Structure 1
Amino acid sequence: MNRSSKAAAAVVTAAGFLTGGWAAAGPASAVDGGAPPPRDRVLWGSVTVPPGRDGIVEASGLSGPALGFGSSLTLVAPAGAKVTGVPLTAAGYRGEVAADGRSAAYTATSAESPWQTGTFPFVVAVPADAVPGTRLDGCVLRLADAGGAERASGGCQVTVGLPSPVLSRPESGVPLGNRPTASGTAYPGARVTVSDQDGNEVCGDTAGADGAWSCAPGRDLPAGANRLQATATMNGVSASSEQIQVSVGSPPTEA
């Protein structure tokens, strides 16, 4: 199938990114809620990851007193999730994941001003049975000095997203009628909408228990070249398929 290399940006991706601003130690006022106001800002951010996938929680540099050798940054995974990796390769830091996957930490080993430059990624795995649109509570970020005293803290909001739907039909390169049937797979129970290149809704369906969906336009599509894309939505989160190039009816004759 000749699918377009350009896909519209999906709300949900297989790997989401979280950035957190650092502040002086204080109460974690937004560990499981929305973003705190600037005056109360602590370590905080958000990421959306589909069920059964990994996402990257990425914290950025400290804007406070420098912490030296032996200081550490720890992420405690939200309920049901696990930390599976600490992929930072920069010199001056050592990463380690707890045996049970409940937490992971970076420790400063030689950096002159630890935590003040660069970003610090943690890979978080969302369970396969997590329900799209729900938020996994309990994600915590903590920065401690070499003696273990907490110097900054906060939380990260991990939202369960949707896997991208698949638009398997119609196929590119095959002459289509004016009302081609669209079909594919999506997360069971998700509402799937097929749109054309102008963003107009072509048709829609709800994915069954097996993930299959199918729909046909209620009106003729314009003749000629077009692009179709499927978007799945469930519980306030959504994801889009790749776009496919199609040709409906006979293309216009050149003058």
Structure 2
Amino acid sequence: MNRSSKAAAAVLTAAGILTGGWPAAPPSAAAGERVLWGSVTIPPGRDGIVEASGLSGPVLGLASSLTLTAPAGAKATAVPLTVAGYRGEVAADGRTAAYTAMSAESPWRTGTFPFVLAVPADAVPGTRLDGCLMRLADAEGVTRASGGCQVTVGLPSPVLSRPESGVPLGYRPAASGTAYPGARVTVSDQDGNQVCADTAGADGLWSCAPGRDLPAGANRLQATATLNGVSASSEQIQITVGPPTPEASTVPPR
């Protein structure tokens, strides 16, 4: 089946990732205070990366450390930074993970510092997990910057399994696939126009058919699932619309 993915330059893992930095002067910060923050959206049962980027302000030296406390229900699983000059470690229980500056010149001033978090499979999409914290301390353990990180439970990407590419299609080709149970699934064409929609059942199955003819010729279809304020999209399917056929005009039963 010939499929093409929608451009997503910011996606670093299958989870789909949103990254944050450390604002130099956030509106809520007191004078001279620096607040760390990051954000990530992770589907149930998946891993995602929350990042902190270079910090401006006083230079912290050898043995200074950046620690992340995982939010309730999630675990820190890895510290994948590969730049020389930092040592990373994860607590055995997954509650915390940290980087320590070992030899970097002016540590924390450049680059990004990633932490991998795992969200449990039973997490509810749209939920924000509380308790994610970041703390930057000097060699004496004195906090020099601190703040939170927003972790949102995302939605697994839906699957658009029908129609198939490379087969003759009518002007109203039926669509079907799977999605997170209860999610509203909307199928759109290459111009972003809604083709049809349905709600995934308890078994995750959904199906729908266009209420109008699609333009003849080449087109692309994509399914987007939405639930509790979060959404995810399927891969795109390349199709060619032509004269109707019996197979193309039938919506499969659930």
TM-score (ref. length: structure 2): 0.88
> Contact (CA 8 Å) 2:125, 2:228: kept in 1 or not?
yes
Between the two structures, name the one with larger relative contact order (CA 8 Å, sep ≥ 6). 1
3-state SS of 2:160 partner = strand
Check if 1:223 corresponds to 2:216.
Answer: yes
Deviation at 1:179, TM superposition (A): 1.5
CA distance, structure 2, for counterparts of residue 17 and residue 185 of structure 1: 25
1:2 and 2:10 matched: no
How far off is 1:218 after superposition? 1.4
Compute the displacement of 1:50 (Å). Answer: 0.9
Q: CA deviation at 1:9?
A: 4.5
Q: Confirm or deny: 8 A CA contact 2:47 2:118 kept in the other structure.
A: yes
Aligned Cα root-mean-square deviation (Å):
2.1
Distance of aligned partners of 1:167 and 1:11 in 2 relative to their CA distance in 1, 3 Å threshold: farther
Offset, 1:112: 2.0
Runs of 4+ aligned structure 1 residues displaced above 3 Å come to: 8-13, 38-41
Counterpart among 142, 155, 160 of residue 153 in structure 2? 160
Of the candidates 111, 128, 144, which is equivalent to residue 137 of structure 2? 144
**TM-score in terms of structure 1 length:** 0.88
Matched, 1:243 2:236: yes
8 Å CA contact 1:191–1:206 kept in 2: the answer is: yes
Q: Deviations over 1:195-249 (max 9, x none)?
A: 1111111111111111111111112222221111100001111111111111111
State how many pairs are aligned. Answer: 239
Find the counterpart in structure 2 of residue 29 from structure 1: none
Distance change in 2, residues 1:165/1:235 (3 Å): same
In structure 2, C-alpha distance between the alignment counterparts of 1:236 and 1:202, rounded to whole Å: 21
The answer to whether the Cα contact below 8 Å between 1:193 and 1:231 also exists between their aligned partners in 2 is yes
Give the secondary-structure state (helix, strand or coil) at the position aligned to 2:59. coil
Corresponding residue for residue 209 of structure 1 = 202
**2:51 paired with 1:61:** no
Superposed displacement of residue 149, structure 1: 1.3
Unaligned runs of 5+ residues in structure 2 are 244-254
Please name the residue that 2:85 is paired with.
Answer: 92
Find the aligned partners of 2:9 and 2:226 in 1 and give their Cα distance: 11
Unaligned runs of 5+ in 1: 25-35, 251-255
Distance 1:71 1:212 in 2: 51
Residues 69, 110 of structure 1: 8 Å contact kept: yes
Name the counterpart of 1:16: 17
One-letter identity of the residue aligned with 1:233: T
State the identity as a percent: 83
Which of residues 25, 31, 35 is equivalent to 1:42? 35
Structure 1 residue 101, shift from structure 2 partner: 0.3
Whole-Å separation in 2 of the counterparts to 1:169 and 1:134: 30
1:114 maps to 2:107: yes
Deviations 1:65-109 (A, max 9, x none): 111111100000011000000001111100000000011000011
Structure 2 counterpart of 1:187: 180
